[in-house]
Structure 1
Amino acid sequence: MISVQGVVDRVGPTLLRTALAVEQADGLHVTDVVIAEAGRRAQVGAGDLVLGVAVASTQDAVALVRHCGAHGAAAVLLKPPYAARGAVKTAALRAGTAIVEVHAATAWAQLVWLLRSVLDAAADESDALHSAAFGDLFRLADAAAAVVDAPVTIEDANSRVLAYSARQDRTDPARVSTIMGRRVPDDVLARFRSRGVFRELSRGRTAIFVPAQKDGTLPRLIVPIRMGGQLLGSMWAVVAGPVPDERAAAFADAAPVVALHLLRRRAREASERRHSAELVRSVLEGTGSTRLAAAELDLDRGPHRVVAIDAQSDDALDGEGVRLSLLERLTEGVGKRPAIADLHGVLYAIVPDVDGWPTLRTALADLDGPLVGAGTPVEVADLARSRAEADEALSLLRTGLAEGPIAVHDQVWTVLVLHRAAVAANAAGVAAFGPLTQLIADADAGWYADTLYEWLRHPGDPRAAAAALSIHPNTLRYRLSRITARLDADLADPDTRLALLTQLTALRWQ
């Protein structure tokens, strides 16, 4: 048995989104899929998912929702813009029927097949949908290879190899490297990208032929795998030369079947990822049973670090894309798969200190852009503390107080001490009194505070203080004479120097 939300989760956000959840439908189990055709009153039963195939207006949608509610339907599936219309939602609330929005580019026929497969799998209480109803990806690769008479790989949208056919020994070094690494090598990707292959894939071409290249790379016939207007992946055949139109069309005809498999795979992974993310959140926030969460996340007993990765962007959609891309990259090749969650635009990863952190740090250093803060290694029960330390280290990077794209809490302790001391000092108002206030208020000499700060930081070493200010030592001595004349304080007294340095530090590090 499965609920409406369960169906939406299994199909995944590529095709379905819950537009309106109603309390009356939450307890219903979905029983069947019904198509509401034009000119016919759909035979709706309790628990049915009703597809508004013939809905062409808001009035049609409202009438269908009312009819379905009267017969106990679990949900009505509508395409934009009708799923978001206020009148439709009002009718659904009164009828006690949920509204699910279907992606505008989704083919209803494919959706019917997919929904019924989901219901069959739920009825069997197994993952039969993955292993039987969708078939095995490697068998599909073999079938596609037979159609095009060439070795084939099936790859996801990130150029990771999901399956490959037989006869790969008849290919070229680029294909061999791809299969050995289970991912298209960067140099091979660059060559195909320079020829506009991925641009053509994104435009929705049915089949793309790429001639042989000077480096010995054999010709390719490439077919995009799409559903609901979204590129899910592609099939790549290593061919001897141009392929006849009939054979290329037959090769492309395999794409919809592969698309259903990839969509199901993506939905299953998304569901697992959401569950894992909830467990990570509970561990990082110190809620729930840490022991049970750690067991489900397969965390070892040894020390772990929490790593905070800032992947935010000025554009919300672009930022989400960056985080998803980072998540894909960070779950590859880092030993045991790290436990990762996306919280408020920051990716948090829990990694073993010895076996995971060094590799993950190298992978993060190779990326261009994200700022990374890492907490100290702790036992699993103390991961909330390591998360707080990772956040603090990340904040130092964001404000420019720490250098580099990566700040490790136990390695930037001097910055942390000064920053915490400055925050506490400012909270106590230590810079609001004493002779320094008059010096800072002097509008004619903005260099007073900087000069005094560097002189106090480099006691007995005027050359180092001058170098920090990028001035000549004689200029430093002249400035100090001006400061001494204006500052009503004994700079020979060590306590006075310490108090002034504390005030200046509070002002500079606040």
Structure 2
Amino acid sequence: MPEDGTTLGELLAALDHTVVTLIDAPAGEQVPLRSATVAEPADLPEHLETHGALPQVYLLVGIDAAATVTWVRRLGAREPAHRPQVLLTKAADDDAPALRAATHAAGLALVHVHRQARWDQVFAVVRRMLTRSPGQRAAAGTPGLLAPDTDLFGLAQVVARETGGMVSVEDPYSHVLAYSASDAAADQLRIRSILGREGPADYLRILREWGVFDRVRRSDEVVDIPEHPELDIRRRLVVGIRRGTGAQARILGTIWLQQGDEPLRTDAARVLRGASAVAARIIARGLDAPSTEALLVRRLFGAHGEGVDVPSVAAALNLPVAGPAAVIGFASVEPATAPVAATASGLIRLHASAFRDDSVTEVIGDRVYVLLPSYHSEHGVGSWVRELVAQLEHARGLMLRAAVAAPVAGLGAVASARAEVDRVLDSPAAAAAGSRVATLAEARTAVLLTEIVELIRHRRELHDPRLAALDEYDREHGAPLRASVRAYLRAHGEVSAAAAELRVHPNTLRYRLRRVEHLLGIALSDPDDRLLLEIQLAAVPTGHRSPR
């Protein structure tokens, strides 16, 4: 096993042949891999212009065979060390010989991804494999079940090897957490579970009717499920993964062992019980660590107030304390009908991780926030966010708004940057400005004006009582003085432009403006009077009676 990364062969085994098929590997399956990215159609030209080495593994999402061929041929001009090593694509099939020829000529491995597989889940497995510690890589290749740095995928491989079957590990809701390599004897229950990353509803209903889940919950014994050829279900052993003992035990998941063409080994049940104990420790570590990490991240974003211990948080999350950073907030255009936290948080996390593997993503309320450490380019992050918002709308139908704060002066300023981002997302004026992605600098005027107007609107003592005379005149005479003076102010004092907007003669508008000056006792030629009147007209609703 290479010391410096996960091999292509190991990656393919982790993804499983039910999810991926190797089409071609010109350099063999021992190529060490360390980096991966998700690329959509808009990303390819930018990656060609990037100097230096590109990520080694590309997940080509929504990119057809023709576009991929064009891109791969242009990659041929780069130094071999600066090209990718592996392309994963749903366009790579037996009907695309040009794609196979192009990737082979460029020395790239080509992997076909099953059309039913979800890209976000495939990327999660790829990242997990490429970021394994040396201990985890070593544990996956040794027979010891109790290797301290083993992860669930490594554990599944070991159990499969020791029992002669195919293993999958699931959470309490039948979502697949990890699995061993499958062979041709994999039944439909296993194949569909791995592709969908959860047990198929029709099969789960049958297992409930047979009482399998009740038996697993009630006991720590291994349950033997006989073969049912009419349902394409082969024999299985299943055991619960428990935290604690007795009545206080908590079910953390299950381990399933499917029998293949050969019988399971005689000690398979014993191995499965031991694996259950190991899995409980692995899952419990994961449950405890993310809860602590999530709390630290939320504190960093200011969700629990100010006063975060930045050095401690930085050390725990392995983030740089100093140096510029960027903070981005995402919200739904229509939050009442489609809150972003419920619909797009996983996709945003996926794309943020592909953009920067040290990114931190957190859901707070109905918004999603991303921190990019050591990132100072407002232009660069703004371009990425605009592309992401456009991609999510085009590919997923998700209508999002975003606000960008960059550069942010280190981790100590993340909470205040998030507050500034929220001010932009809260501003109706910023939302109405046209672009769905705004930087703080671009939105500052709209945000401050909105907040000033809101402050005056809710402070009755700041209302100008003279506006009551204007509204009273309009009511009594059916006159549009308020609308007329607002049009005049919006036109920056250009009577002709304002009259055209109102569809009246300029002399008619001049008469109305003189009437306004008389009623309010102001001079529209005075800059202070004009400023005050414009703010008051925006803040005080028509017909609002202020105290005199």
State TM-score, norm by structure 1: 0.48
State TM-score, norm by structure 2: 0.45
